[in-house]
């Protein structure tokens, strides 16, 4: 028997002012686009903005439903839109933010398990890591170099050959 270890590191910034201009602009857009979320049930509005390898930007927000499981997270709305509007174009970076009237919105959130799986699929599909910038409306910012770091031992298409 031997024990394997899986570790990942990420950068923590005290606030948006520590980011370079391009990352700060992307995060501002993610904070702003939370307004377009449809979240009448949770009141937790999530906004995501992707910048693609070709410089295009695409946004996504969570879209809830009276039949709760039908609702879809901002990240998966975003990935579906990117894949449809810009087929096979790699995503360079995604900024993710949220806004809720019920809390301070002052710390980063990270993608749910289902979205982590979807992010890994997109990375595999176009063969490029997706960088993540995670933050609330204010406060700390996490930067993660590769979305797949959030899903160690991921199940991927390798198993389905
Ligand atoms: N949500 C997202 O859009 N992305 C995440 O990473 C976490 C959760 C949404 C789903 C639901 O509409 C609301 O946030 C509360 O869970």
pLDDT at 137: 98
Q: Is the pLDDT of residue 59 over 90?
A: yes
Give the start-end residues of each E strand in 78-130.
Answer: 91-100
8-state DSSP, 62? -
Residue of minimum CA distance from atom 14 in ligand 1: 44
Residue nearest to atom 9 of ligand 1 (CA): 73
Could you tell me the distance, in angstroms and rounded to a whole number, from the CA of residue 1 to the centre of ligand 1? 39
User: Residue 95: which of 13, 39, 151, 152 has the closest Cα?
Assistant: 13
Q: Measured in angstroms, how far is the CA atom of residue 141 from the centroid of ligand 1?
A: 18
pLDDT score at 161: 80
Q: pLDDT of 38-51, one tens digit each? A: 999 999 999 999 99
What residue owns the CA closest to ligand 1's atom 8? 73
The tens digit of pLDDT for each residue in 123-144 reads 999 999 999 999 999 999 999 9
Atom of ligand 1 nearest to the CA of 61: 3
Catalytic residue among 75, 104, 121, 145: 75
From 20-24, 61-65, 100-104, the region with the lowest mean pLDDT: 100-104
Annotation says 75 is catalytic: yes
Predicted confidence at residue 45, as pLDDT, reads 98
Domain boundaries, the chain: 11-160
pLDDT at 122: 97
Pairing of strands 131-135, 91-100: parallel
Q: What is the pLDDT of residues 90-120, one digit of tens each?
A: 999 999 999 999 999 999 999 999 999 999 9
Ligand 1 atom with the smallest distance to the CA of 77 is: 3
Q: In terms of Cα–Cα distance, which of 32, 41, 87, 79 is closest to 60?
A: 79
Residue with tokens 């087929």: 87
Which DSSP helix (H) or strand (E) runs through 26?
helix 21-33
Q: Find the helix or strand (DSSP H, E) in which 79 lies.
A: helix 74-85
What would the CATH number be for the domain defined by 11-160?
3.40.140.10
């Amino acid at each position: 028997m031997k024990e394997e270890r899986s570790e990942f590191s990420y950068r923590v910034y005290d606030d948006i002012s520590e980011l370079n201009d391009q990352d700060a602009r992307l995060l501002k857009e993610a904070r702003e686009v939370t307004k377009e979320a449809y979240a009448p049930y949770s009141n937790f509005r999530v906004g995501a903005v992707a910048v693609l390898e070709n410089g295009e930007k695409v946004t996504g927000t969570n879209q809830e439903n009276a039949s709760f499981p039908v609702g879809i997270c901002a990240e998966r709305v975003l990935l579906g839109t990117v894949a449809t509007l810009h087929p096979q174009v790699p995503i360079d970076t995604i900024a993710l933010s949220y806004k809720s009237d019920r809390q301070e919105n002052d710390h980063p959130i990270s993608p749910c398990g289902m979205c982590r799986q979807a992010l890994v699929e997109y990375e595999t599909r176009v063969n490029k890591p997706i960088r993540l910038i995670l933050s609330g409306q204010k406060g700390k910012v996490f930067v993660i170099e590769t979305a797949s770091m959030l899903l160690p031992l991921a199940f991927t298409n390798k198993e389905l050959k």
